[in-house]
Amino acid sequence: MENNNLENKNDDMCEIFDSHEDVVSRVKKRIPDESEFSELSEFFKIFGNPTRLKIISLLSIEDLCVCDICEALDLNQTTVSNQLRILRANNIVKYKKEGKMARYSLTDLHIEMIYKVGLEHILE
């Protein structure tokens, strides 16, 4: 094993079909760059929490104030408010102040689409 240096693993992997090198260089050119993957994973991370999904689900039906969300989900106000902050920070929900209330809604249709396609996927 000592003469088999692994620092250049391309050389000793997967050489059964010599097309692999071409395949790799071709697909490499067509993917987004590091910063976009990073941003996108932060975005999707938001959907990876049941409380946030419940809020998204509610807001896909209609706009709601914080206390209605708390009540509909039977969650305490701190939890909901914290998750709304995260949703806001990630551009998934927006809100309008109405007196002492805050009325939340989904930012755009992308959010609803992603939620619904995901739901469809797990239900089939």
Tokens of 80: 């909901």
Binding to DNA (CB under 7 A): which residues in 42-81? 45, 48-52, 65-67, 70, 75-79, 81
Q: How many residues can be counted in the chain?
A: 124
DSSP state of 64: E
CB of 59 to its own copies, least distance (A): 9
Regarding 42 and contact with its own copies (CB under 8 A), the answer is yes
75 CB contacts (<8 Å, ≥6 apart)? 51, 69
Least Cβ distance, residue 50 to DNA (angstroms) = 6
Candidates 95, 105, 107, 112: give the one binding DNA (CB under 7 A): 95
32, amino acid identity:
P
